[in-house]
C-alpha cells in the first residue's frame, strides 16, 4: 500500500514537472535582457528577447562585442561574453547555443539548410547566417526543432 502511494506521488510529480516545462516554454521566465543603450544619457536599455533572432559575438581591435540581432536587422550590443549570456539564458527554452559564435532563438527560424554549412534564415531578416550550427550542437539543435 505504501509503495503504491509512493509510485503515485512520483507519477504526479513527473506530470507536474512536464506541465511546468510546457508553461516555461509558453511564458519564459526571462523576457528582457540588458544591453548597451543607444542614447548615451541612458544607463541601461532592455531588449525584448521575443524579438531577438540570434546573438552573436565577434572580436575587433582586441575587444569582444556581443550583438543581439532582432527581426528588423537592428543590432543591440552587450559587454557580456556569449558564454555569460548563455548561462543567463539557460532557463529560456527558446534560445540555444549553436556554435562558438552563435546562440539562436529557435522560434524565429524560418528556414535552414542542413548540409556541411548549416545556414539559418530568420523571420524579418533577408540574409542567412552562414555556418550557424556546428557539428557539436547539430544533434541537439535538430532534436529541439523536432526534425
The residue with cell 550557424 is 132
CATH code assigned at 47: 2.40.50.1020
Tell whether the model's pLDDT for residue 93 goes beyond 90.
no
Torsion angle (degrees, nearest 10) of CA 59, 63, 66, 70: -80
Residue 95 has pLDDT above 90, yes or no: yes
Are 118 and 133 in a shared domain? yes
Say how far apart CA 52 and CA 44 lie, in whole Å.
17
Reported pTM: 0.78
> If you average pLDDT over residues 105-120, what whole number do you get?
86
Q: Which residues of 46-81 are buried (b: 16+ CB within 10 A; e: fewer)?
A: ebebebbbbbbbeeeeeeebbbbbbeeeeebebebe
**Where in the sequence is the domain holding 121, given as residue range(s)?**
31-145
Is 107 found in the same domain as 117?
yes
User: Total structural domains in the chain?
Assistant: 2
Is there a single domain that holds both residue 36 and residue 84?
A: yes
For residue 128, the SS3 value is coil
Amino acid at each position: 500500500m505504501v509503495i503504491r502511494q509512493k509510485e503515485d506521488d512520483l507519477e504526479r510529480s513527473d506530470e507536474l514537472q512536464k506541465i511546468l516545462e510546457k508553461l516555461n516554454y509558453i511564458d519564459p521566465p526571462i523576457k528582457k535582457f540588458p544591453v548597451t543603450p543607444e542614447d548615451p544619457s541612458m544607463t541601461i536599455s532592455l531588449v525584448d528577447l521575443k524579438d531577438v533572432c540570434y546573438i552573436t559575438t565577434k572580436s575587433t581591435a582586441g575587444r569582444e562585442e556581443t550583438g543581439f540581432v532582432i527581426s528588423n536587422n537592428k543590432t543591440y550590443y552587450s559587454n557580456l561574453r556569449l558564454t555569460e549570456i548563455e548561462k543567463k539564458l539557460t532557463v529560456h527554452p527558446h534560445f540555444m547555443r549553436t556554435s562558438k559564435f552563435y546562440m539562436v532563438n529557435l522560434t524565429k527560424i524560418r528556414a535552414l539548410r542542413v548540409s556541411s554549412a548549416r545556414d539559418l534564415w530568420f523571420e524579418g531578416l533577408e540574409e542567412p547566417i552562414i555556418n550557424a550550427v556546428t557539428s557539436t550542437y547539430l544533434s541537439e539543435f535538430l532534436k529541439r526543432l523536432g526534425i
